[in-house]
Amino acid sequence: MNNKVNFVILISLVLLHLGESQVVSGLNYRLVVVADESGRSKNYAAIVWEELWQKSKNLTSFTPILKNNRFF
Ligand SMILES: *[C@@H]1O[C@H](CO)[C@@H](O)[C@H](O)[C@H]1NC(C)=O
């Protein structure tokens, strides 16, 4: 049985996040991840938050996208 899963990041939209003094404090990456699971493709919406003054990114959301449901 082939359980290999291929992930393709299809679309990425980067949103600048302004802080209190209108200085960019972080970035929100909104990604559409296409997972090919044994021939059946499933789409997921992922949101990654990055604060510029930190060297880390956090995955804040990862949810399946229903067919015919527009993400953007
Ligand atoms: C990510 O989450 C951890 C734990 O909640 C937190 O300490 C860290 O500041 C977060 N990093 C960012 C970039 O938001």
pLDDT at position 72, please? 43
**Rounded CA gap, 49 and 51, in Å?**
7
Q: Is the pLDDT of residue 1 over 70?
A: no
Minimum CA distance residue for ligand 1 atom 4 = 58
State the distance from the centre of ligand 1 to the C-alpha of 47, rounded, in angstroms: 14
Look-up: residue for tokens 């997921």? 44
**Confidence (pLDDT) at 22:** 78
Top pLDDT among 12 and 57 is at 57
Task: Please give the pLDDT value at position 3.
Answer: 61
Give the tens place of pLDDT for each residue, 14-71.
778 777 787 888 888 888 888 877 777 788 888 999 998 888 899 999 998 876 545 4
Expressed in angstroms and rounded, the spacing between residue 37 Cα and the centre of ligand 1 is: 30
Ligand 1, pocket-test mutation among 58, 59, 60, most atoms within 8 A of CB: 58
Which tokens hold the place of 57?
């990114």
Closest Cα partner for 59 from 72, 47, 45, 69?
47
- Which ligand 1 atom is at minimum distance from the Cα of 50? 13
